[in-house]
Structure 1
Amino acid sequence: MSWKVQPISDLCLHSVDCVNRTAPVVEEPTPYKMIRTTNVKGGFIDTTNVRYVTLETYERWTRRLLPQAGDVILTREAPLGDVGRLTSDDRVFLGQRLFHYRADPKVLDSGFLAYVLQSPRVQGWIRGTGMGATVEHARVGDFHKIPIPVPPLKVQTKIGGILSAYDDLIENNRRRIALLEEAARLLYREWFVHFRFPGHEHVKITEGAPEGWERLPASEAFEVNPKTPRNDEGIIRYFPMAALSETGMVIGRGPMEEREKSTSVRFRNGDTLLARITPCLENGKTGYVQMLEDGEIACGSTEFIVLRQRRVSSYYVYLTARQHDFRENAIRSMIGSSGRQRVQPNCFDRYFVAVPPELLAKLFDEAVGEMFDQVGNLDQQNQKLSQARDLLLPRLMNGEIAV
């Protein structure tokens, strides 16, 4: 099937580059959120892991175009060609290296636009415009000219509806994952930070821990960078730093590679991965490994610290690693040149955790273990939904499937 091809700017009410300078941010959350290239991925825009600005900055940075639900964002650099569609009414604005499209509803469905930009044909054109030996980027002018195949508007709407059904399920699962993780973190803080565990009314706190508990350095409660032997024959999965999230436990499969040789950093299901280098640690990059096959060993970036259960469960280890004061303790130990500072392993000798009696530990693990399992199941569902959508997308865009 042959569809007419037109430049994207002819099909949009607006096609606008971002303000190409850094907006001044503030520490405390505000209603005004900055979207960066890291927020734009796979058709989605993450509006939770953001930086914040004042109203004055927000108004200055949105004077060209005020983002609204349905708008499509494209990354122009680092990386080139990632696509996301705004689905909320959050007050967001574009950081650097982003391009902003608003479809003309008379000729172009906004959902179709988000998906056609992800199609192999259009992605190939975008990547063909890339320049730069170190950081691939595209000229602003090229992003006005992207050739878009344009079926009739009714066909566009149907294609967008079919593919968005998958993405709606994925997004719903992501919300459930976030709620489950937040529930696990709240329970951890309630029991092990505020010491409001079952029966706490009858237990005294002495020397920083309830009576009957142990207060141990993290280096004794956890295994830090444990040796994980593996038969070096055969392919091994490798996860780079990009696979770790700044906000949640799920480790991304997208950046995963298959290698013939392992790095020195190896891990298995139940391990926690913690970034040891600046600024990844400060930004919160941490993950819980539960996406591997039974018995599988994977490897990762040499900038990972691997934490493994010893005196406490794997759930306890991960939830501790997500604590602000745990990360601050690690940050204070960093040494090295500016921009390449790394955590020193002896910092875990100076961070103490409260280890509960066996019965309380079992009750906690049963409660949060169900939450972790649900997160793992939802993540697997999302992987299957993404694969099904990605198989359908090029066939719909090529007209191979009649709608």
Structure 2
Amino acid sequence: MAYPEAELGSIATLWDCLHKTPAYSEDGYPMVRVTDIKRGFLDLSRTLKVQDETYQEFIERHRPRASDILFSRVGSYGNSCFVDREQEFCLGQNTVCITPDPGRSVPYFLYCCLNTPFVRQQIDSLVGGASQPTISLKSIAHIKLPLPDVADQSKIAGILLPYESLIENDLRRIEILEDMAQNLYREWFVKFRYPGGQDARFIDSPLGQIPEGWEVKGAMDNGNWNFIDQNVGPYVGTKRYHATADIDGITIVSDGVDYAYKQKPSRAQKQPLLNSVWFARMQETYKVLAVARPNAALAANAMLSSGFAGFVAADEDSLPFLFLTIASREFHQEKDRYCTGATQRSLTNDGLSRILTICPPREIVQQFGHAATDFMELMLTLQQQNLILRRTRDLLLPRLVSGEIDVADLDIAVPEGTSA
């Protein structure tokens, strides 16, 4: 049963952002920019902040509310996220806020529609712009969406919302585990409060005082890992390609695309190895991918963009030290410092070799590995669980919103917040 269609502008109000760059501040109100709009519930944890005067100016047209949908127009266009609860924030440049008409559309259903292949194809066809891909507000208003009656919209939303909630819950658990692991790392390798460290003598180094017997080495020469310079070789069948856009933080957030060897993109060059860690070379990005036992299939079945650089740990016990070094705030500050390029700044191998890293004795690194392995394995296990949830959701999504799966006669308890 195919549902009738309606243009987005006829079932929702579109609020454009102010087309100006504000002065950011250390604290204040979150401002949502294009880089903050990612599929799922709105996450304000990494947003830039603005002061009250700027905030009031930017919400004068519309103050975003719960059940609004945020949409990106320029650069990484066509991404959307759902405002699942009341939060104080304002829109940055090149973003749109969509307020569904409660009489005709269920907000979460509308958000789901924007993430279907059918709508994504429309968005791609409407994009213009010579230097940066851009979709105009007028074109967004003309996007066609399937529109079952409100009761069926609520049922479809009720089927899909639990997947989003489980994914978001796992992401919060991953974030907590990452914080715990980073705190442990800092205790051992920044504050030097490791077992036996109370008796250590300290010596001067380029990174300040370090325990005697420890060293400071360039990232390319640290004896606890090795740089991966091999590229993907010929293979039979297909491998799944992950671009840098498929990684957010330390999590794979997109399924990637399968390619035969002769059809793979030119950037699909890097071969992940077991016990390896990869990071995006681009300036001001935090994208770190670890490959270990819980997600070992990546080593056999995946390939990565040349926008990643990677290291393989000297042994399995050294992997947590490698991962948390690369994921650390200090490493990314140094990465950004040594990035070069006229238009898109990124880290070359020469720049990578200039980043100084702490190099403890192997027995300390292995001892830390035993202490941190459980954190890391649980993080990767939750990531794998989320991949399964995303794939299941994305399998159901187009079938539900197209009417291929008829929900009219289903007795579904509709979660609060999904109905009009």
> Which of 316, 321, 327 pairs up with 1:322?
327
Change (3 A) 1:220 1:397: closer
- Does residue 67 of structure 2 align to residue 66 of structure 1? no
Q: Secondary structure at the match of 2:110?
A: helix
In structure 2, the partner of 1:143 is 140
Taking every aligned residue pair, what percent have the same amino acid on both sides? 29
In 2, Cα distance between equivalents of 1:331 and 1:391: 38
1:141 Cα deviation (Å)?
1.6
In 1, Cα distance between equivalents of 2:40 and 2:357: 42
Letter in 1 for 2:23: P
In 2, Cα distance between equivalents of 1:152 and 1:297: 42
In structure 1, the partner of 2:289 is 287
- Does residue 209 of structure 2 align to residue 181 of structure 1? no
Letter in 2 for 1:258: Y
Instruction: Report Cα offsets for 1:51-71 as digits up to 9, x if no partner.
Output: 222222221111111112211
Map 1:210-359 → 2, pairs under 5 A: 210-211=211-212, 213-218=214-219, 219-228=221-230, 231-234=233-236, 235-245=238-248, 248-256=249-257, 258-260=259-261, 265-276=270-281, 280-290=282-292, 291-293=295-297, 295-296=299-300, 298-310=302-314, 313-337=318-342, 339-340=344-345, 342-345=347-350, 348=353, 351-356=356-361, 358=363
Q: Which runs of 5+ in 1 are unaligned?
A: none
Letter in 1 for 2:60: R
Change (3 A) 1:193 1:159: same
Instruction: Report Cα offsets for 1:15-38 as digits up to 9, x if no partner.
Output: 211222323323x2x242222223
- Does residue 193 of structure 2 align to residue 191 of structure 1? no
In structure 2, the partner of 1:113 is 110
In structure 1, the partner of 2:377 is 373
Instruction: Report Cα offsets for 1:305-344 as digits up to 9, x if no partner.
Output: 2222238812211211233333333444444546445445
Query: Does structure 1 conserve the Cα–Cα contact (< 8 Å) formed by 2:213 and 2:360?
Result: no
In structure 2, the partner of 1:164 is 161
In structure 1, the partner of 2:414 is none
Change (3 A) 1:239 1:259: farther
> Which of 183, 198, 201 pairs up with 2:198?
201
Letter in 2 for 1:379: Q
TM-score, with normalisation over the residues of structure 2? 0.83
In 2, Cα distance between equivalents of 1:296 and 1:25: 44
Change (3 A) 1:256 1:273: farther
1:168 Cα deviation (Å)?
0.4
Query: Does structure 1 conserve the Cα–Cα contact (< 8 Å) formed by 2:278 and 2:311?
Result: yes
Q: Relative to structure 2, which stretch is displaced further, 319-328 or 218-227?
A: 218-227
Q: Secondary structure at the match of 2:45?
A: coil
Q: Secondary structure at the match of 1:182?
A: helix
Query: Does structure 2 conserve the Cα–Cα contact (< 8 Å) formed by 1:222 and 1:307?
Result: no
Query: Does structure 1 conserve the Cα–Cα contact (< 8 Å) formed by 2:74 and 2:134?
Result: yes
Change (3 A) 1:392 1:265: closer
In 1, Cα distance between equivalents of 2:298 and 2:104: 50
Q: Relative to structure 2, which stretch is displaced further, 169-178 or 259-268?
A: 259-268
In 2, Cα distance between equivalents of 1:267 and 1:231: 12
Instruction: Report Cα offsets for 1:156-182 as digits up to 9, x if no partner.
Output: 222111100111001100111111111
- Does residue 13 of structure 2 align to residue 9 of structure 1? no
- Does residue 84 of structure 2 align to residue 87 of structure 1? yes
Change (3 A) 1:216 1:122: closer
Change (3 A) 1:296 1:157: same
Letter in 2 for 1:288: A
Query: Does structure 2 conserve the Cα–Cα contact (< 8 Å) formed by 1:19 and 1:95?
Result: yes
Change (3 A) 1:36 1:254: farther
- Does residue 94 of structure 2 align to residue 97 of structure 1? yes
Letter in 2 for 1:239: H
Instruction: Report Cα offsets for 1:108-159 as digits up to 9, x if no partner.
Output: 2211111122234433443333334664432212323333333232222221
Q: Which runs of 5+ in 2 are unaligned?
A: 411-420
In 2, Cα distance between equivalents of 1:167 and 1:216: 43
1:385 Cα deviation (Å)?
0.9
Letter in 1 for 2:288: T
Change (3 A) 1:292 1:90: farther
1:186 Cα deviation (Å)?
0.6
TM-score, with normalisation over the residues of structure 1? 0.86
Letter in 2 for 1:378: L
In 2, Cα distance between equivalents of 1:271 and 1:327: 18
Change (3 A) 1:58 1:270: farther
Query: Does structure 1 conserve the Cα–Cα contact (< 8 Å) formed by 2:283 and 2:346?
Result: no
